[in-house]
Chain A
């Protein structure tokens, strides 16, 4: 590999390692409590769900309101694979994600031929159907009371942190690589103008399917990690209400922005925990913020922008300029 490429990987690579290692060390030596580590783990899982929603809604431009359904499939599949088929947990997790992807394929096939609002309704419907089925297959799924899943690692936050956060970072890298390639551009073209994309050699249906299946794989992965972390899952995990929670992360972070979705997931999950003292008023917090954002900054925090390492100099300059402007305004005021 030539030097220039190595250099461009250096800074992001070190940052990625730091994100995993520094908190891990802090947790190991109890500077961060197990409770905090647990929150960080939950953040990582929700960030994965945000990524899933971002891929199908933000990047592929297909409004799916049923991603939580795939998460639930991933969670329940992990339990079944491990408890009934005695497959070791790590393998079960990957398989569960693949099972979600298969469901994504089956559901996507008839659904992606529909337009806009209709697509949203159908995905909503599928999520709810999954919830009802999970509630009723009592023998397999434990019915409405859910199913518990306790493994060695359920209560060990540090190994979970290492695994979840590393998985998240790997996912982010792979997704970014995909987007910044001919394949990613093809999907963005489909989002922008289907007719034009079709006319220019891109099979619109195929690329919508790719987006949908990848999104359901990641949701399934998130679900598998979720059950590993929580030790417990209920059929409500597949409901429309949960899908909305994840959609909110992406809308606030910026539809189409990978960094935005992840950031938003972390910030909002931490906030949710921090605001526990508000009790039920906490539930009003999300939707009110959502409306304010929709009216005043509809593109969300980052819009479609990504944080790019190579643009660090640009960011530095614009921050510098911002402060320079601020100071010059103060100076002007002082001279009067």
Chain B
């Protein structure tokens, strides 16, 4: 019976971690879908969102109200950061070879990380995040961490809202259209610049939320905290099919569960290596990912 309980707990943890990866992965996948850019800086937007939320929590205390304020602030801050980065670093390079944008994305990542290390009120050392108290859920012998459940719940809401925006609003339609064909979309009267900015805003907003949720679940913030989750979320996006929104959600959850299971039952030190190996295997067998579409290149 104990092993079943342990398994359920690990599963919930996995889904919780996976939801965070999913939120970050969504940003990667939306940006890639629309401008074909791997935004390496995305993981660090998550980090900035975490810090933004952290400062609000410090100011307002770890109460439900404080937390909501922190969340809202984190999301808005991240969205604006995403829009600024797009405007300053990526838009000038939109027509340049893809390699240049990729390099710029890497540069932005380095700037964000090192900026935080250098800023006097931040600094390279990790900080403890004030924890809000969420009671555990007890079902018989099974006790599930309240925080994990909260993370899953919050992520789910965000994903439902995103799904609605993408599939049922005009903005979403514009986003999908630009991701299919930028030129044709602009000829149809869609403001491409605005649509791309919106995409970055939404993706960054989700990353910021993910950052604060991550800081709640693993209560530390430091300037490098976005690096690994960023990479892993990227793996998740590719796993699910880069460019596919449901794929990012699915990929994130799968990766979160896989990683937690490996850490729980397997050689935990190799968890990272296993995540990357999973990525490589998927790319070799089915490069477009679980939900991606195969494109045939015309010769």
Contacts and interface: CB of A to CB of B under 8 A. Distances in A.
A117 B111 contact: no
A281 B114 CA distance: 8
SS class, residues of chain B in contact with chain A:
helix
Contacts of B114: 280, 283-284, 287
B98 interface: yes
Contacts of A20: none
B124 to A, nearest CB: 8
Given A118-B287, A126-B280, A287 B273 contact: no
21 contacts: A110-B280, A115-B287, A117-B36, A117-B98, A121-B283, A122-B283, A128-B231, A132-B269, A132-B270, A132-B276, A133-B270, A247-B103, A280-B124, A286-B110, A287-B108, A287-B114, A290-B103, A290-B104, A291-B108, A294-B107, A295-B93
B156 interface: no
SS class, residues of chain A in contact with chain B:
helix
B84 interface: no
Contacts of B277: 125, 129
A298 B105 CA distance: 14
A291 B89 contact: yes
Interface string B84-126: 0000010011001111101110111111001101100000100
B272 A128 contact: yes
B13 to A, nearest CB: 21
Contacts of B89: 291
Closest 10 CB pairs of A and B: A287-B110, A132-B273, A283-B114, A125-B276, A287-B107, A290-B107, A287-B111, A129-B273, A136-B269, A280-B118
A142 B97 CA distance: 42
Interface in A285-302: 286-288, 290-291, 294-295, 298
A276 B117 CA distance: 16
B234 interface: yes
Contacts of B124: 280
Given A117-B38, A244-B110, A283-B110, 4 more contacts: A121-B279, A125-B276, A129-B276, A287-B109
A283 B117 contact: yes
Given A132-B272, A244-B106, A294 B100 contact: yes
With most chain B CB atoms within 10 A of its CB, the pick from A116, A288, A290 is A290
A128 B106 contact: no
Nearest to B99: A63
A280 B111 CA distance: 12
B236 to A, nearest CB: 12
B107 A118 contact: no
Contact of B279 (A63, A125, A240): A125
Given A125-B235, A287-B111, A290-B103, A298 B96 contact: yes
Contact of A294 (B104, B111, B117, B287): B104
B56 interface: no
A163 interface: no
A294 B109 CA distance: 15
B280 A120 contact: no
With most chain A CB atoms within 10 A of its CB, the pick from B98, B115, B280 is B280
Interface residues of A, number: 38
B98 A294 contact: no
A121 B234 contact: yes
A110 to B, nearest CB: 5
Interface in A240-283: 240, 244, 247-248, 251, 255, 280-281, 283
Contacts of A251: 103
Contacts of A136: 267, 269-270
B205 interface: no
B238 interface: yes
A240 B92 contact: no
Nearest to A113: B284
B118 A110 contact: no
Given A118-B287, A132-B273, A244-B106, A294 B93 contact: yes
A124 B92 CA distance: 26
With most chain B CB atoms within 10 A of its CB, the pick from A122, A244, A251, A287 is A287
Nearest to B37: A117
Contact of B38 (A120, A195, A288): A120
Contacts of A166: none
A135 B108 CA distance: 28
A128 B228 CA distance: 10
Contacts of B188: none
A114 interface: yes
B299 interface: yes
Nearest to A239: B227
